[in-house]
Amino acid sequence: MNAIEIKDLRKTFDGEKYILDGITLNIPKGKITVIIGFSGTGKSVLIKHVLGLIRPTSGSINVLGTDIGLLNDEQMIRFRSHFGMLFQDAALFDDFTTIENVLFPIQEFRKDLSKEQKLEIAKLKLSQVGLSEEHYDKLPSELSGGMRKRCGLARAIALDPDILLYDEPTTGLDPVMTETVDNLILNTHNHNRESTTVVISHDLHAAFRLGDHIAMLDGGKVLLEGNAKTFFDSDIDLVQKFVAKGIKHE
């Protein structure tokens, strides 16, 4: 069972250079899939296609049984409530407090709930990511980088999305923080076994630690996909280099 099926996806912005050049990738449901690759290989562009933020030049994307190429803009916007996304810098709304940030999607989409129930959910999600009550009324600018990420994650899971996306969750963090965030991803996934998690990463260690399924992009194509063993056993030059040294940060 696949949550996301990408078929022969191609994308060019200028009509000449294809950033994505025939990507075919299945992302299994209920698992953690890690997408790795050098900087600039189009990982973020790929994820934006899945979210329908960018339209493909050719090829198709099927999410939870819906061909999103057939949705118009307004349907697409509604369809996105299936997704939760943690952005690289959390992308918190900077004039909202921590709790308001988490409350925002709940207020928008759960009009059926009472005020207390909404607050209840927000607090639950915040405790789930380990943010304590003393931080609820702080603005994003008053939080540390790690706390911002936690808050962003709480907001992403506020509506229990079917698919959770992380765009480079640990880039730019120190090793301790990296491990904390990785654990957060694992815990969050274990909390809701039904949900599908997709992580974009530079970091091969994280990929091996988190990923049930790993796909590596290069030159606009999927170079290799499989589990950690596939990557260790691969005799592709580039993959061996990665396994030996880890992916270099650029």
Compute the least distance from the CB of residue 42 to ligand ATP, in Å: 4
Tell me if 165 sits within 8 A of 4, measured CB to CB.
no
d(CA 158, CA 56): 29
d(CA 170, CA 180): 9
d(CA 80, CA 37): 25
The two tokens of residue 208 are 């091996």
d(CA 138, CA 136): 6
Compute the least distance from the CB of residue 121 to ligand ATP, in Å: 32
Compute the least distance from the CB of residue 44 to Mg ion, in Å: 3
Element (H, E) at 6: strand 2-12
Tell me if 11 sits within 8 A of 56, measured CB to CB.
yes
Asked if residue 206 binds ligand ATP (CB under 6 A), the reply is no
Compute the least distance from the CB of residue 224 to another protein, in Å: 28
Residue 109 binds: one of another protein, ligand ATP, Mg ion, none (C-beta under 5 to 8 A by kind): another protein
Q: CA 78, 83, 84, 90 torsion: positive or negative?
A: negative
Compute the least distance from the CB of residue 99 to Mg ion, in Å: 29
Asked if residue 88 binds another protein (CB under 8 A), the reply is yes
Asked if residue 124 binds another protein (CB under 8 A), the reply is no
Asked if residue 238 binds ligand ATP (CB under 6 A), the reply is no
Q: Quick one: 90 or 222, whose CB is closer to another protein?
A: 90
Asked if residue 153 binds another protein (CB under 8 A), the reply is no
Q: Which amino acid is at 100?
A: E
Question: What CA–CA distances, in Å, run from 46 to 105, 188, 207, 227, 247?
Answer: 24, 23, 17, 20, 19
DSSP label at residue 74? H
The neighbouring-strand residues paired with 96 are none
Residues 40-79 that bind Mg ion (CB under 5 A): 44
Residue 78 binds: one of Mg ion, ligand ATP, another protein, none (C-beta under 5 to 8 A by kind): another protein
Asked if residue 91 binds ligand ATP (CB under 6 A), the reply is no
Indicate left, alpha or beta for 33 from its phi (over 0: left) and psi (-120 to 50: alpha).
beta
Asked if residue 40 binds another protein (CB under 8 A), the reply is no
Contact pick of 89, 100, 179, 212 for another protein (by CB under 8 A): 89
Asked if residue 243 binds ligand ATP (CB under 6 A), the reply is no
Asked if residue 172 binds ligand ATP (CB under 6 A), the reply is no
Compute the least distance from the CB of residue 204 to another protein, in Å: 25
Compute the least distance from the CB of residue 228 to Mg ion, in Å: 23
Give me the numbers of helices (H) and strands (E) for the chain, helices first please: 9, 10
Interface residue list for ligand ATP (CB under 6 A)? 13, 19, 37, 39-45, 202
Interface residue list for another protein (CB under 8 A)? 51, 53, 74, 77-81, 83-85, 87-89, 91-94, 104-105, 108-109
